[in-house]
Amino acid sequence: MMDHDTGYKLLFSHPRMVRDFLEGFVSGDWLRKLDLDSLEKMNGSYVSDDLRSRHDDAVWRVRWGRDRIYLYLLLEFQSTVDRFMPVRVHTYTGLLYQDLIRRHELDDNQKLPSVLPVVLYNGESRWRAPIHVRNLIQPGPAEFLGLQPEQAFLLLDQGAFDLDQLASMRNLVAALFRLEHHRTFAEVPQVLDDLINWLRPTELAGLRHSFVAWLYRRLPQWMPGVTIPQMLNLQEIQEMTRNSAQEWKDMHHQAGLQEEARNILRRQLVRRFGSLSERIEAKLNGASREQLEDWIDRPYEVEELEDVFR
C-alpha cells in the first residue's frame, strides 16, 4: 500500500501543487518577488562524503528577486511527531549543500543558496515538538552560544487548520488537507467536486492521475470493509463516495430507529416486569428492528415476561 511519504512525494512532484502550497500557506513580502513559472524539481537523492545515501522527500528551486537568484524549497512529509525533526532537517540541508558543491553548481565566490525547509505533518495529534534545533541543545558555557547549530523549519500541521477556512480557498493543497482531515465522510465527495473542477485543464492531467492514485490508496482507510474497484478517473471516485456516504447515512438512520425501538421496549418491560435478566437483555440486543416493533406493544397484553417474545 502507498504510504504517506510515497503518496505525498507523488503529489508534490507536480509544480502546480508546489505553487498552490507557496501561494496558500506561506506568508511574507518576499513571495511577491518569486517567479513561480521558474519552479524546477531537483534531484533529492544524495551520497554523502562517507558514501551514505539519503533521499529527500521533495526538493524544488525557484528564481527570486531582481537578480533571479535561486531559492531552494525542501519538503519533508511526516505522519508522526518526531522530537528530533530539527536535527534531521539540519542534516538534510547540509546534504543538499554538499551535493551542490560536489556537482559544481556554484560559480567561483558564489554563496550557497537560501533554503526554505518545510515539514508537512498530517497526524491526528497536534505537533508539540520543537521546530528549532537550539531547543534540543543542552545549555553550555556562554562562550559556546554562538557556535551551536542554527536550524529551524516551517511546520504545516494540517489538522490545526480550520476546515471551513480551507474550504473557502481555491487551492489544491487546501483540498488535500480537507480530504485528510474530513469531519464526516459526506465531506469527501464535496471536496472531490472541487478537485474535478480545478483539475480540468489538459496540462494538469498528470496531477489529476496522481490524485486518483493517492485516493485509491487512501479510500480503504476511510471506507473500511468496502471493496474499492479499480478507478479510472475522479468522477468515478466521486460517484462511489457519494453513493457510499448516502448509504452510510441511511444505515445510521436505520440504526438510530432500531436503538430507539429497543430503548422504548426495554423501559416498558422494566415498568411491567421489573429488572431484566442478562438473557432478556441479550435477546433485546440481538433483535432486529422488525422484531422490536413487533414486541413493543405486547408488555401490557400478556401476563408473563416470556410471552412478550412468542
Average of per-residue pLDDT across 266-270: 81
At residue 45 the predicted structure's pLDDT band, cuts being 50, 70 and 90, is low
- The three-class DSSP label of residue 107 is coil
| CA-closest candidate to residue 238, choices 217, 253, 219 | 219
pTM: 0.77
Candidate from 15-24, 49-58, 212-221, 300-309 with smallest mean pLDDT: 49-58
What was the pLDDT predicted at 195?
A: 98
Kindly compute the dihedral angle of the four CA atoms of residues 77, 82, 180, 185, in this order, to the nearest 10 degrees.
160
Candidate from 70-84, 170-184, 246-260 with smallest mean pLDDT: 246-260
What was the pLDDT predicted at 280?
A: 87
What was the pLDDT predicted at 51?
A: 44
Q: What is the mean pLDDT of the chain?
A: 87
Give the C-alpha separation, 141 to 139, whole Å. Answer: 7
Asked whether residue 1 carries a pLDDT value surpassing 50, the answer given is: no
255 close to 261: Cβ distance less than 8 angstroms: no
* DSSP-H helix ranges across the chain: 4-11, 15-25, 85-102, 163-167, 172-180, 187-198, 205-222, 234-273, 278-285, 289-295
Average of per-residue pLDDT across 286-305: 80
Asked whether residue 222 carries a pLDDT value surpassing 70, the answer given is: yes
Give 255-290 as a 3 state SS string.
HHHHHHHHHHHHHHHHHHHCCCCHHHHHHHHCCCHH
Give the C-alpha separation, 96 to 93, whole Å. Answer: 5
Give the C-alpha separation, 45 to 236, whole Å. Answer: 36
- Indicate the residue type of 234: L
Asked whether residue 306 carries a pLDDT value surpassing 50, the answer given is: yes
Strands 115-121, 154-157: pairing kind = parallel
Asked whether residue 247 carries a pLDDT value surpassing 70, the answer given is: no
Give the C-alpha separation, 60 to 257, whole Å. Answer: 54
What was the pLDDT predicted at 75?
A: 97
Interacting residues of 8 by C-beta distance below 8 A, sequence separation 6+: 57, 58, 75, 77, 120
Give the C-alpha separation, 257 to 263, whole Å. Answer: 10
Which residue would you say has higher pLDDT here, 50 or 85? Answer: 85
Asked whether residue 253 carries a pLDDT value surpassing 70, the answer given is: no
Using only C-alpha atoms, what is the Rg of the chain? 28
